[in-house]
Structures are given as structure tokens and as C-alpha cells.
Amino acid sequence: MSDKIEVREIKPSRPRPAAKTKMGDQPVHPNNTIYVRAMKGVFQRLRRYGGWFLMALFMLTPWIPYQGRQAILLDIEAQQFNFFSVTLFPQDLILLAFVFMIAAFALFFFTTFLGRVWCGYTCPQTVWTFIYIWFEEKIEGARNKRVKLDRTAWNFEKLWRKTFKHFCWLAVALVTGITMVAYFVPAPDVVFGLVTGELSFAATFSVIFFMLATYANAGWMRTIVCTHMCPYARFQSAMFDKDTFIVGYDVDRGEARGPRKRKEDYKAVGLGDCVDCNLCVEVCPSGIDIRNGLQYECINCGACIDACDQTMDKMGYEKGLISYTTEHRLAGGTTELVRPKLIGYGLALVVMMIAFVVTANLRVNFEVDVLRDRNQMFRETNEGWIENTYTLVLVNKTQQATQFHLSVEGLPPHEWSGPQQIEVAAGDVADVPISLAVDPYELTSPMTRIEFVVTTDSSDDARRVDSRFFSRR
């Protein structure tokens, strides 16, 4: 039997009326304006507190100091990514690649297991959208008041409420834009640069771009981003199966739906537990009716679950008419938590995490590279000695200034021209030009294999780099 979810055509028992969200009698498409009703409940508290925590974490992280500098700073101009005590260079980008792969397989794993929980609880689009809706509720009122306000002709109250709402939206968007750029440019420089007008054009443009993008996405587009622009909503079906936890409506228990009195024997008249209060639709940020079955617009936020549970509690019915469930469970079967697809994603995730840890442990605190003079292989000095010229490239990956000691092995008695001790600043790269000269009578072949040895005061590790010494013999 295939684990794929069959596509079925939904034919509602009664047509859904078009929403009238503007003045006059001309109805507009219900997706144009979705008035989300505020709802309290377990899942909404989890989403609300989690959203505020993630927002605060995002906003405050660039301001965390560490050893006299910004703790997390992705300095693209200097080609350095600083994460507290770790500084990553372009040579370490494989670690960032592993981080992205771990995030991808974690997303696949949790989507297969719990559906679109990323979308419902932690996606930035969702977090910012719900924060914008929170401002909307506080300024314009509850859902019914917002609908009434939009249908009312323009007056002073409508003007100041709308103006203040958009002012708050733009303020949040501006802080978001500044914070985004503060991950790449030191946060104080961004703020003071904007105030004084000394911020670079690229940074200023980035702040304005992220501000307008946040304002448009969270304030105006909202679920349009999820349904029409986000690729995750499109390819998630490849990870779903009948054992994936989704927000589902128990059709057998709920139908036939209809209003009734609280103490009425509704089953005697052929009704199910659904009282058709329509709260599950009013609280949905995507404006869908979960009773029509699984839909790709659903982001698994659980708002409809909280709404339905409150209604069931008031009616004295058992909760869970809408719940986190699976297709197998809705069909009367059992859910298999452990299955090949989930195990495959889990193993891939573990392998990526192990590879990241191993690669991180093999990372060295400094790197050495040797470049030969490309203009000539060797030259003869005034004393008749053979001289080769090199450039030693020293990369200090630590966050402290480091003293390097340079030497060479494999050569007969020689003269070293250039520094043999050099201090390299934290996270800096130093080019050290040197030359080695040898009496030609001490050389036995046209090419001699040598090793440059580099040590530091702060570590017992030594880096050995192979090179060659050329002569005319």
C-alpha cells in the first residue's frame, strides 16, 4: 500500500459566502483581507511566548559584547565570521556548509514527524506576522471592530488608528532592518551612522531594504508569502505521509455539523459534535477551513485547535474534535512513529552533526602557506651563493595576538634574510617575505626538499609546510 496521501476533491455542503471587507456591497476575495480573531489556549500561548522570545533573541544578539567586541559579527569585508571565541575564515566555510546541511535535514526530519511546526511556531514570516497582528489588535480592536472600522467611512478615529498602526509597523520594520545589518556591521556603528548620516551607502541601502521588506511581508502580504512565494509550502508534500502529525478534523465525530442548544440531545436529530460556530476559520491566519481536510495553506499553528477545544468545553463535549493527529488515526488506524523515511532523515541528520563536530575539532588555530617567487626560481648573490625567495602567509585564527617563530629544515648551512619572529594580530593575516641563501658547494642536486616550521608561544603545535629549494646544479 502506498504511503502517499490521496488527492480528493472537496465539495462543501454549503457555499462559503464571499467576505465583504470594504465599503459597499461589492464582495472581495476572502484571501485579500483576513481578519484574524484573537484566541487564547495552550498552543497559542506556546506560539506567542515563543515568538516574543525569538524576536527578543534576534534583536538583542548583536548587542552582546564579548572581550571588547561584538559577540556575533559576520564581517564580510574583513572575511571573518566571529562567534564569541571562534573566528571563521573563508577556509572554514565548510563548517557553515555543515550547519546549513544540519538545518536542512533537521527541517526534513521534523516535517516528516510533526508536519509544518517550523511554519507555525518559528518561521520569521510567522513570528513577524503575528507580532504585526498583535499591534493591529491593540490599536484597532478585536476582529469585529476591525471589520467595522474598515467598512466605516474615513473619519478622525479611523485616520488616527490607521496612522498609528502603520507607524508602529514601520517602527518595528526599522528596528528589524537595523538589526539585520548589525549582524554584518558593528551595531553601534549602524545606529550612530544612521543618526549622523555617516553610514555607508551599502549599509544604508540594506537597512532600508530590510525595513520595507519586513513592512510589506508582515503587514500587507502575510500568508501570500507562505502560499505563493515560500518554496517550503510547495515541496513539503514530498515529506508528508499518513503518519505525519497534522492539524486534522475528525469528520466521523463532527458531522453532521450544525447549531444546537447546550443541553439538547443533538445525536437524536442526527448532528455531530461540530456546532458550526466557524471559530476555527476566524482564528486561522491563512483563512482556511480545516474541516475541509488537509490543505497546503495550513501552517500547523494550532489556533483552530484552541478555538475548537474552548467551544467543546463550553458545550460539555470531549475535546479533540480538531487536534494534532495523523491520516491513519483519522481513518481509524494506528500511527507508526518509527518508519523508514523518518529513520533515513534521522540518520542523515546524525551523520551531518558528527561530521560537523569532527571537522570543528580538526580545525587549527593558525594556518601557514608558502608562496615561491614566481619571477625566478633562484638567483646568485654577490658572494656566489644561491638564493631562493619565499613569502610565508600566516593566518591567526585566534582572537588574541600571537607570536610566531619561523625556521626551516632540510637545508645545509644557510643564511636566512627576513624576520624569524613576528606578531600577528587577532584574526589577521600577515605576509612575511624571506630569502634563503646556500653555498652552491653544499648542494648536491638541482632541487632540495625543505620544510618550513612555524611554532607559537601559546601552543605546542607546529605547522610544517613542504617546499623546494632550487639551484643550478
Q: What is the DSSP string of 418-465?
A: S-SEEEE-TT-EEEEEEEEEE-GGG--SSEEEEEEEEEESS-S-EEEE
**Within a 10 A sphere around the Cβ of 325, how many other Cβ atoms?**
17
pLDDT tens digits, 369-419: 999 988 888 999 998 999 999 999 998 888 888 999 999 999 999 999 999
Domain residue spans of the chain: 1-363, 366-470
CATH number belonging to domain 366-470: 2.60.40.10
pLDDT at 88: 86
pLDDT at 6: 60
**What is d(CA 443, CA 102) in angstroms, rounded to the nearest whole number?**
53
Name which of 318, 275, 322, 274 is nearest 300 in CA terms. 322
Name which of 326, 317, 171, 191 is nearest 247 in CA terms. 326
pLDDT at 22: 38
Angle in degrees, CA 136, 139, 144, rounded to 5: 70
Whole-model pTM: value is 0.80
Name which of 80, 67, 56, 66 is nearest 185 in CA terms. 80
Coil/strand/helix, residue 222? coil
Q: Which segments in the chain show pLDDT lower than 50? A: 1, 12-31
| Residue 10 phi, psi (nearest 5) | -100, 125
Q: Find the DSSP H helices in 293-417.
A: 303-315, 327-330, 340-362
pLDDT at 33: 82
Angle in degrees, CA 74, 77, 80, rounded to 5: 45
| Residue 265 phi, psi (nearest 5) | -80, 85
Rounded-to-5 percentages of helix, strand, coil across the chain: 45, 20, 35
pLDDT at 5: 55
User: 404 pairs with which residues across the strands?
Assistant: 422, 456
**What is d(CA 424, CA 86) in angstroms, rounded to the nearest whole number?**
17
pLDDT at 32: 63
